[in-house]
Structure 1
Amino acid sequence: MQKNITIRSGENNLSGALHLPEYREEAIPLLIFIHGFVGSKVGEHRLFVKAARYFIERGYGVFRFDFSGCGESDGDYADVTLTNQLKEVQDVVDYLSSIRGIDKQQISLVGHSMGGAVASLTAASDSRIKQLILWSPVGTPYEDITGILGPKAVHEISRQGSHDYHGFMISQNFLKDLKRHQPIEAIRSFMGPVHIVHAKEDEQISREHTRRYVNSLNKRLNGERVIEQYIEQADHTFSSYSFENELFDKSLTWLERNSVKEFAL
């Protein structure tokens, strides 16, 4: 079952899609997908749509949504900041936590690329998030995004205040705000289980970030030990059926193993 949902966040309406399994008597564990820089809830080559269908067939609920200025949501990208996106995720979790039938003890964030940084920062400060899955996550938001934009665009933003990046207006305020956030350090505050999968041939986000996330997480005193996984030959968006299937299978295996531990406790 898929239901289109609109969630109010500040002055904007966020467009979302809730997928629920048709037959499940017990409370439903929920995965909230968080897209990346200038992305959408559909994902490149429909990655998030395919992921939603994969996971609901296996008993999970999935919610995917567009940040403001993206996809079908209100707003313009010129007004986007990472700080605002963190607030939008909070509003999304507020709304979903009120839905009857959702297992509030099994709310997980799944973040891809910049969405991985957003998910990490959210989990570090919101106790409602119980598990975290990161797919090729951004580790240093300012450096990673300016690396994608390129030096010419960054120079234009510093001189003129904005840059048109493939139809998305990137503001100087957006770049300044990125410097405020350090997800690799922040994630150490999250005591729940974390799973990280990185594309082995990622051309946009260094897989060194995954090693740094793991090192940071494994310094936690009471957290479960984290081991990174890689998908051979995969690019940043996992753009083949074989890459997607391996990504989904690795994530599901981890989720099921973790839910067994929860049940055993």
Structure 2
Amino acid sequence: MKSRFIKDERTVVHASNYGDAGEKVVRIDSDGRGLAGILNRPCGIPAPAVVLMLHGFTGQKNEFQLAKTGIGLFAYAAAKLAEQGIATLRIDFNGSGDSAGNWIDTTFSGQINDAMLAYDYLQTLRDVDGSRVGILGYSQGGLVASHVAALRPQASAVVLWAPVTNPMSTFSNLVGAETVARAIAGEASEEIRTKLSWGGETTLKAAFYKELPLFAPAVAISRYHGPLRVVVGRREMIVAPQPAEGRSLLTHHGGVNDLVEVDSGHDWNAETSPDTVENVLIPSTVEWFGRFLNV
């Protein structure tokens, strides 16, 4: 099959105490998106199963650092999956991290397109098994993952961490309901500068907010019948209320599924300690993918 991707790859040293798998920087140049990613392959396995990892709002391919470790949440997860014989591809969405584009132009539809490009890119590689692909999405990446699962229902398994399930509600809490209403009523090209509930600020065009009512993860996940695990924090303040938001996805999903409730907020207590990530979040994720990717 002739690939529609231009691949620019180089091997990098995986200098981490969390695993000895090889990592390769990849660039997926298709449809002008210019996506940067890291392909992590376990050593000694010719064509392992692979998990596509999708980061959250304002995040990047490694995600935030875990306290006391100096390693990003997604980098840590990738290393742990590699230890169990599972490859991963973690990407920067267009306009984030090392990818091309501008953050200000971010939209849900654009990120879903990015994730679809990455999923299809995995099908072109000889050193992973494109018939055994899992999808992992965190926060807004969970919303994206739900829609990718609907569009690629052959995915072997899905895990969603604190997924956005009601975009209007979540972003009204995050940046303020008045800001959301003003952006939706305005011109798509208008630049909206907002403060974030966890501190700092960001600027996005109104086009981002105009898509809030258009995407429904529960509807999307109803079109995916493969195994689904949803992991939520009981003390969640961003994607809230929990565990009700997580259960809403299971209600609409028609396949094997379950809900894992964690004693944490949106960041899995990672600002103060890696314990919750190391002892609950990652083991539940590795177990699910190991079971359904036939590892």
Determine if the TM-score, normalized by the shorter chain, exceeds 0.5: yes
In the alignment, structure 1 residue 174 sits paired with structure 2 residue 203: no
Structure 2, unmatched stretches of 5+, are 1-21, 66-71, 195-199
By how many angstroms is 1:10 displaced?
2.5
Distance 1:213 1:159 in 2: 31
CA contact (8 A) 2:84 2:290 kept: no
In the alignment, structure 1 residue 43 sits paired with structure 2 residue 43: no
SS in 1 for 2:100: coil
Q: 2:132 aligns with which of 103, 106, 110?
A: 106
Cα RMSD after superposing both structures:
1.8
Q: Which amino acid aligns with 1:125?
A: L
Distance 1:106 1:231 in 2: 28
Distance 2:292 2:156 in 1: 11
CA contact (8 A) 1:111 1:135 kept: yes
Distance 1:172 1:156 in 2: 9
Identity across matched positions, percent: 26
Distance 1:119 1:91 in 2: 13
Q: 1:18 aligns with which of 14, 32, 39?
A: 39
**Residue in structure 1 matched with residue 231 of structure 2 by the alignment:** 197
CA contact (8 A) 1:8 1:14 kept: yes
Structure 1, unmatched stretches of 5+, are none
In the alignment, structure 1 residue 60 sits paired with structure 2 residue 90: no
By how many angstroms is 1:152 displaced?
5.1
**Residue in structure 2 matched with residue 78 of structure 1 by the alignment:** 104
In the alignment, structure 1 residue 227 sits paired with structure 2 residue 258: yes
Q: Which amino acid aligns with 1:193?
A: P
In the alignment, structure 1 residue 258 sits paired with structure 2 residue 292: yes
CA contact (8 A) 1:156 1:163 kept: no
By how many angstroms is 1:156 displaced?
5.7
Distance 2:105 2:148 in 1: 20
By how many angstroms is 1:127 displaced?
3.3
Q: 1:28 aligns with which of 35, 42, 48?
A: 48
By how many angstroms is 1:256 displaced?
2.7
Distance 1:52 1:4 in 2: 14
CA shift digits 1:12-49 (9 cap, x unpaired): 31110110011114x30101110111111111121111
- Name which of structure 1's ranges 153-162 and 134-143 shifts more when overlaid on structure 2: 153-162
**Residue in structure 1 matched with residue 250 of structure 2 by the alignment:** 214
Q: Which amino acid aligns with 1:180?
A: L
CA contact (8 A) 2:153 2:225 kept: no
SS in 1 for 2:114: helix
- Name which of structure 1's ranges 126-135 and 55-64 shifts more when overlaid on structure 2: 126-135
By how many angstroms is 1:95 displaced?
1.3
CA shift digits 1:62-88 (9 cap, x unpaired): 111110111111111221111111111
TM-score normalised by L of structure 2: 0.81
In the alignment, structure 1 residue 241 sits paired with structure 2 residue 274: yes
Q: Which amino acid aligns with 1:181?
A: F
CA shift digits 1:185-241 (9 cap, x unpaired): 221110111111111211211222101011111xx2xx22x2211112x12021131
Residues 159/90 of structure 1: CA separation in 2 closer, same or farther (3 Å cut): closer
Residues 178/152 of structure 1: CA separation in 2 closer, same or farther (3 Å cut): closer
